[in-house]
């Protein structure tokens, strides 16, 4: 058996774990009827020539289920923050009083919910593709080890089974997370 086989398998498992974490993060930025400050994580604001994450420039709170309040630490950035929010894919028009910015999220329509579910499924599929790519890479590594006589044919088959078991397990986790997000989005 390949001397660092268990290490390679652990590395592979860690990569799959990161894929699941990425999926969870991506889903946290998707609007599902309730206001969530993580939706603003991807918004970058031009702060004196430097693109700065919004959450590093302001206090972000959720006083109501469908409202986010952004309180910039530097009031002179209100216009730039507004511009960045409008340019983002949130689809929300911010309102401000010169000091704080309010984002009011309208109730989602049935059509919009269905669009979001499509996006949720698309993200899950992209993550599954990256899982398959990781599987391909590690299987290639094992095939090369077998060619170089560092593994026997039986060990290669056994390692392929181990890898496939991990892939199946993580695909199941991805499917479960996807279903939960779909339910959350379709919840009225």
DSSP letter (8 states) at residue 44: E
Same domain, 58 and 93: yes
Q: What is the pLDDT of residues 94-124, one digit of tens each?
A: 898 989 999 988 777 888 888 889 999 999 9
Same domain, 119 and 72: no
8: its two tokens: 């390679």
DSSP letter (8 states) at residue 188: -
Total structural domains in the chain?
Answer: 2
Q: What is the rounded distance in angstroms from the CA atom of residue 47 to the CA atom of residue 79?
A: 11
Element (H, E) at 47: strand 44-47
Same domain, 114 and 178: yes
Same domain, 24 and 71: no
Range of the domain at 182: 5-28+109-186
The helix/strand/coil state of 129 is helix
125: its two tokens: 């599929």
> Of the residues 84, 104, 124, which one is the last residue of a structural domain?
104
Q: What is the pLDDT of residues 147-184, one digit of tens each?
A: 998 888 898 899 999 999 999 999 999 999 999 999 88
Same domain, 100 and 145: no
147: its two tokens: 């060619």
């Amino acid at each position: 058996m390949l001397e660092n086989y268990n290490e390679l398998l652990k590395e592979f498992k860690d990569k799959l774990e990161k894929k699941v974490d990425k999926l969870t993060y991506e889903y946290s930025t998707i609007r599902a009827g309730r206001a969530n400050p993580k939706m603003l994580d991807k918004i970058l604001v031009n702060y004196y020539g430097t693109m700065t994450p919004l959450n590093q420039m302001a206090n972000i709170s959720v006083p109501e289920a469908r409202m986010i309040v952004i309180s910039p630490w530097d009031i002179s950035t209100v216009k730039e923050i507004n511009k960045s929010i409008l340019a983002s894919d949130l689809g929300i028009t911010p309102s401000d009083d010169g000091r704080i910015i309010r984002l009011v999220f309208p109730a989602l329509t049935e059509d919009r919910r269905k669009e979001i579910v499509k996006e949720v499924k698309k993200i899950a599929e992209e993550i599954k593709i990256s899982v398959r790519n990781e599987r391909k890479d590690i299987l290639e590594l094992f095939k090369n080890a077998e060619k170089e006589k560092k593994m026997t044919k039986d060990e290669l088959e056994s390692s392929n089974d181990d890898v496939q078991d991990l892939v199946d397990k993580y695909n199941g986790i991805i499917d479960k997370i996807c279903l939960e997000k779909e339910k959350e989005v379709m919840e009225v």
